[in-house]
A and B are shown apart, each in its own frame.
Chain A
């Protein structure tokens, strides 16, 4: 177990890179089991505790869809969980009411999390995909003065 931010089976395969088995090996009735073993109700287990099957999209990655990526700055974050509730790709990793970081295997770089982040400056900002996290953090803007509204 590699921990929460990157678990053993998450995002291990590009979409389309799965083994193209023959007619005799495809599942009966096109049925897809989400887990390898009976795990019970998934709502009672954290992702890192689940026996995901290779058929679960958790094991695939869409990282290549991204051209820009959100970078997370823990120092400013207030753990409000706005980013968590509105991420369309289940890519904000939160545990015990804390925002821990971004699941870069499943994040598509939409930027919604950045828009809904309420801190000043934001605790999430979009950077070029190639930008190293340290460099991004080094470039973090200062607190913006509130513009006077008339």
Chain B
């Protein structure tokens, strides 16, 4: 595979962009930071499938496309299967000798929001991974259905306010826990699974490259700070993402072949989750005295998860 150099940002910046401007994502949206980085990680040809969601409705609105790669959107749930179908066609045509350029290197990639990945498209993703198609699935996890105005998903964390799990007089927002999608995908036996974040551009680029290089289905959950629904100033996307990784709300790690867990980022100074929560409007209500216990609960869970990840890393199981 034609991997591009990610030795440092200067080298990385010599890549030729394949996501064009004048897409319709909000100013400061992290989705496009993540997508650009994926596209810049390789010089291979790409076939990109995308589920319905902010990325799709913003980058392919007739009569415009922002994609300089082959790209397909079918529905909200089936990008994994669209990529799988294209990959199957590639294999068939390669065998039969009907490809225009049979030697051109190609990678198959699917993007989905957390809504499509954790909820409605869960089965399609699971099926495509079980069948072992050679593709990389990247979830742009902004922890809500942003495209439709910010409803809860099973990726929405406890305590967050969304339009369908609202904070109010008798509610502190979402009651349930966030689904552990990384663990679930690792349990599928996927050869490479990771959680990565755009503020840590290098580990993200490395992880993307590993996934693209690894034969078989790979899954990556990426932290995608959503200025509109998380309610922070667009200029602060990277700042809020820093708080997410440094508070360990979003630990950065990979799991190879379902067992080998590597933590890819260890914050020098772990900050209290409170700082991360305080930076976003969707958690504002948690700072009322009666909701204080929710912050404590979140902190406790973050600590436990970090402990668990470290032990798994050590145990190599």
Do A34 and B201 have beta carbons less than 8 Å apart? Answer: no
23 contacts between A and B (CB under 8 A): A18-B63, A18-B64, A27-B63, A32-B64, A43-B2, A43-B15, A43-B16, A43-B43, A44-B43, A47-B17, A55-B64, A57-B22, A58-B20, A86-B238, A88-B29, A94-B14, A103-B21, A105-B22, A107-B21, A110-B27, A110-B227, A111-B27, A111-B233
- Contacts A18-B63, A32-B63, A43-B43 given; indicate if A90 touches B236 (C-beta within 8 A): no
* B residues 1-47 touching A (CB-CB < 8 Å): 2, 9-25, 27-33, 36-37, 39, 42-45
B295 proximal to A (CB < 8 A):
no
A52→B75 CA distance, assembly (Å): 27
A107→B28 CA distance, assembly (Å): 10
Residue of A whose beta carbon sits closest to that of B233: A111
Do B67 and A34 have beta carbons less than 8 Å apart? Answer: yes
A86→B37 CA distance, assembly (Å): 9
Do B22 and A58 have beta carbons less than 8 Å apart? Answer: yes
Q: What range describes how many residues of A lie at the interface?
A: 35 or more
CB neighbours of A84 from chain B (8 A): 9, 13
- Contacts A42-B18, A56-B64, A114-B235 given; indicate if A97 touches B13 (C-beta within 8 A): yes
Type the 1/0 row for A78-91, where 1 means its CB is closer than 8 Å to any CB of B: 01111011111111
- Contacts A15-B22, A110-B234, A110-B235 given; indicate if A88 touches B28 (C-beta within 8 A): yes
Residue of B whose beta carbon sits closest to that of A80: B9
Do A43 and B62 have beta carbons less than 8 Å apart? Answer: no
A122 proximal to B (CB < 8 A):
no
Type the 1/0 row for B231-259, where 1 means its CB is closer than 8 Å to any CB of A: 00111111100000000000000000000
- Contacts A56-B64, A85-B201 given; indicate if A61 touches B27 (C-beta within 8 A): no
A10→B203 CA distance, assembly (Å): 32
A115 proximal to B (CB < 8 A):
yes
**B residues neighboring A (CB under 8 Å):** 2, 9-25, 27-33, 36-37, 39, 42-45, 59-60, 62-69, 104, 198, 201, 227, 233-239
CB neighbours of B227 from chain A (8 A): 110
- Contacts A30-B62, A61-B22 given; indicate if A112 touches B237 (C-beta within 8 A): yes
- Contacts A34-B67, A88-B33, A110-B235 given; indicate if A94 touches B13 (C-beta within 8 A): yes
A27→B13 CA distance, assembly (Å): 35
CB contacts between A and B, total, < 8 Å: 157
Do A43 and B33 have beta carbons less than 8 Å apart? Answer: no
A41→B30 CA distance, assembly (Å): 25
Which of B9, B16, B43, B237 makes the CB contact (< 8 A) with A47? B16
Which of A41, A55, A65, A95 makes the CB contact (< 8 A) with B104? A41
B16, B18, B36: which has the most chain A beta carbons within 10 Å?
Answer: B16
**Least Cβ–Cβ distance between B240 and chain A, in angstroms:** 10
> Assuming A82-B9, A107-B21, what are 19 further A-B pairs, CB within 8 angstroms?
A27-B63, A30-B62, A32-B60, A43-B42, A43-B44, A54-B63, A57-B23, A57-B65, A58-B20, A65-B27, A84-B9, A85-B201, A87-B33, A88-B33, A94-B14, A95-B14, A111-B234, A112-B28, A126-B235
Type the 1/0 row for A93-131, where 1 means its CB is closer than 8 Å to any CB of B: 011110000010111111110111000000000100000
- Contacts A57-B23, A88-B32 given; indicate if A116 touches B238 (C-beta within 8 A): yes
A72→B201 CA distance, assembly (Å): 23
A57→B66 CA distance, assembly (Å): 5
A96→B13 CA distance, assembly (Å): 8
A105→B20 CA distance, assembly (Å): 11
A44→B33 CA distance, assembly (Å): 20
Do B239 and A89 have beta carbons less than 8 Å apart? Answer: no
Closest 3 CB pairs of A and B: A106-B21, A111-B235, A110-B27
